[in-house]
Amino acid sequence: MTSTRQNKVARLLQKELGQIFVQENQLFGSKMITVTVVRITPDLAIAKIYLSVFNPGDDSDPLSEIQEHAGKIKNELGKRIRHQLRIMPELHFYLDDSLDYADNIDRLLKN
């Protein structure tokens, strides 16, 4: 069960990371990256960030591109939330496949 503090920090991280992905879109080309869910551990040390990537373009792995720029993303996030959090959580990025799963279920139900 998540605490109120975990929920507040997760919402803060989701909002700020969403803005970072919009403003730093030159790093990722024409991809539109959306932060769908942020889950944070009770000690606020690790944040699991689930991302949806639209218009992936070529066959490159979008998660590996995000991992390449993880240091720059964490640095920018640290600048933005330095007055709200004492310790910057470690960021773990994951692809959110819930939309693909829902499309697959819908397709199966139509057949």
Q: What domains does the chain contain, in order, with CATH numbers?
A: 4-110 (3.30.300.20)
Mean of pLDDT over the chain: 88
Q: Can you give the pLDDT at residue 63?
A: 86
Q: Is the predicted pLDDT of residue 99 greater than 80, yes or no?
A: no
Q: Is the predicted pLDDT of residue 32 greater than 80, yes or no?
A: yes
Q: Are 54 and 60 in contact (CB under 8 A)?
A: no
Q: Is the predicted pLDDT of residue 55 greater than 80, yes or no?
A: no
- Which of the two residues, 69 and 62, has the higher pLDDT score? 69
Q: Is the predicted pLDDT of residue 84 greater than 80, yes or no?
A: yes
* From 13-22, 31-40, 42-51, 97-106, the region with the lowest mean pLDDT: 97-106
Q: Is the predicted pLDDT of residue 100 greater than 80, yes or no?
A: no
Q: Can you give the pLDDT at residue 74?
A: 94
Q: How far is CA 15 from the centre of its chain?
A: 10
Q: Is the predicted pLDDT of residue 93 greater than 90, yes or no?
A: yes
Sign of the dihedral through C-alpha 20, 29, 96, 101? positive
3-state secondary structure of 45: coil
